[in-house]
Structure 1
Amino acid sequence: MAIEHLQPGNLVPKPPEPRPESEIMAGWKGDRNKPLVSILCITYNHAPYIADALNGFLIQETDFPFEIIVHDDASADETQRIIEQYQQRYPNLITTVFQTENQYSKGSRPTQFVKDLCRGIYSALCEGDDYWLSPDKLSKQVFLLETNKDVHLSVHPAYLFDVSKGKFAPKFEHDLVSGSVLPVSDAVSASSQFAPTASYFFRTKEFLSMPEWFFNAQDLPFGDYFIEALLGRHGIIYAHDIFSVYRRNVPGSYTHRTAQSSDNYLISRIGSVLRYTSKLEDYECISSISIQKRKVNIVKDYQGMALARRSLYLYRAVSAEGERYAVRNAVVENIAMKSEVSFRCYRFYRFLKATSSKLKSFIWMLKKRFSRSPNFSG
Structure 2
Amino acid sequence: MSLYPVNDIMVSVCVVTYNHGKYIGTCLDHILRQRRKFRIEILIHDDASTDGAQDVIRAYQKRYPDIIKPILRVENQYSQGITNISGAFNFPRAVGKYVALTDGDDYWCDDYKLQRQVDYMEAHPECGFTFHSAKVVTEDGALVNGELMRPYHTSRVVKPAELVDKATGSPFASFLLRREIVEKLPDYYVDCPVGDRPLELMAADYGDSYYFDEPMSVYRFGIRGSWTENQMNGDYVEKQRKYAADMWKMYHRFDVETGGRFHEACEHAGRRVEFLTAVNTRNFDVIYRPENADFLQELSRHDRFFIDFEHRFPKLYHGLRRLKSGAPKQIEEKGSV
- TM-score bin, normalised by smaller chain: 0.7 to 0.9
**TM-score normalized by the length of structure 2:** 0.79
Query: Which of residues 98, 114, 117 in structure 2 aligns to 1:138?
Result: 114
Aligned-partner SS, 1:241: strand
Of residues 254-263 and 67-76 in structure 1, the stretch that sits farther from structure 2 once superposed is 254-263
Q: After superposition, where does 1:294-305 map in structure 2 within 5 Å?
A: 294-305=269-280
Q: Flag the 1:118–1:285 CA change in 2: closer, same or farther, 3 A.
A: farther
Q: Is 1:130–1:245's contact at 8 Å kept on the other side of the alignment? A: yes
Q: Flag the 1:107–1:50 CA change in 2: closer, same or farther, 3 A.
A: same
Matched, 1:41 2:15: yes
Matched, 1:87 2:87: no
Question: How far apart in 2 are the matches of 1:121 and 1:63?
Answer: 14
Matched, 1:254 2:232: no
- 1:58 maps to what in 2? 32
- 1:238 maps to what in 2? 211
Bigger RCO (CA 8 Å, 6+ sep): 2
Q: Flag the 1:49–1:31 CA change in 2: closer, same or farther, 3 A.
A: same
- CA drift of 1:63 comes to 1.4
Q: Flag the 1:89–1:330 CA change in 2: closer, same or farther, 3 A.
A: same
Q: Is 2:251–2:267's contact at 8 Å kept on the other side of the alignment? A: no
- 2:175 maps to what in 1? 200
Larger radius of gyration: 1
- 2:330 maps to what in 1? none
Aligned-partner SS, 2:9: coil
- CA drift of 1:185 comes to 2.9
- CA drift of 1:230 comes to 1.7
Q: Is 1:184–1:286's contact at 8 Å kept on the other side of the alignment? A: no
Q: Flag the 1:331–1:284 CA change in 2: closer, same or farther, 3 A.
A: closer
Q: After superposition, where does 1:152-167 map in structure 2 within 5 Å?
A: 152-163=128-139, 166-167=142-143
Unpaired segments of 5 or more residues in structure 1? Answer: 1-25, 320-327, 333-346, 356-378
Identity of aligned residues (%): 24
> Cα deviations across residues 175-196 of structure 1 (Å, max 9, x unaligned)?
324xx21123333223342x11
- CA drift of 1:232 comes to 2.8
Q: Is 1:151–1:232's contact at 8 Å kept on the other side of the alignment? A: no
Q: Is 1:191–1:298's contact at 8 Å kept on the other side of the alignment? A: no
Q: Is 2:48–2:76's contact at 8 Å kept on the other side of the alignment? A: yes
Amino acid at match of 2:228: T
Query: Which of residues 45, 57, 78 in structure 2 aligns to 1:71?
Result: 45
Matched, 1:123 2:104: no
> Cα deviations across residues 252-287 of structure 1 (Å, max 9, x unaligned)?
111222233413333333221211121121214752
Q: Is 2:102–2:174's contact at 8 Å kept on the other side of the alignment? A: yes
Q: CA RMSD in A?
A: 3.0
Q: Flag the 1:74–1:57 CA change in 2: closer, same or farther, 3 A.
A: same
Q: Is 2:132–2:171's contact at 8 Å kept on the other side of the alignment? A: yes
Matched, 1:98 2:72: yes
Question: How far apart in 2 are the matches of 1:65 and 1:294?
Answer: 37
- 1:227 maps to what in 2? 199
Q: Which has the higher strand share?
A: 2
Amino acid at match of 1:104: Y
Aligned-partner SS, 1:74: coil
- CA drift of 1:160 comes to 1.3
Q: After superposition, where does 1:205-354 map in structure 2 within 5 Å?
A: 205-215=180-190, 217=191, 220-233=192-205, 234-262=207-235, 263-282=237-256, 283-284=258-259, 286-307=261-282, 351-352=311-312
Q: Is 1:27–1:62's contact at 8 Å kept on the other side of the alignment? A: no
Q: Is 1:274–1:295's contact at 8 Å kept on the other side of the alignment? A: yes
Aligned-partner SS, 1:157: strand
Q: Flag the 1:165–1:39 CA change in 2: closer, same or farther, 3 A.
A: closer
Amino acid at match of 1:214: Y
Q: Flag the 1:231–1:70 CA change in 2: closer, same or farther, 3 A.
A: same
Amino acid at match of 1:269: Y
Q: Is 2:151–2:168's contact at 8 Å kept on the other side of the alignment? A: no
- 2:153 maps to what in 1? 175
After the TM superposition, which parts of structure 1 deviate over 4 Å for at least 4 consecutive aligned residues?
A: 26-29, 328-332, 347-350
Of residues 53-62 and 263-272 in structure 1, the stretch that sits farther from structure 2 once superposed is 263-272
Q: Is 1:41–1:125's contact at 8 Å kept on the other side of the alignment? A: yes
Question: How far apart in 2 are the matches of 1:99 and 1:128?
Answer: 15
Q: Flag the 1:174–1:191 CA change in 2: closer, same or farther, 3 A.
A: closer
- 2:320 maps to what in 1? none
- 1:188 maps to what in 2? 164
Question: How far apart in 2 are the matches of 1:348 and 1:203?
Answer: 43
Question: How far apart in 2 are the matches of 1:349 and 1:48?
Answer: 37
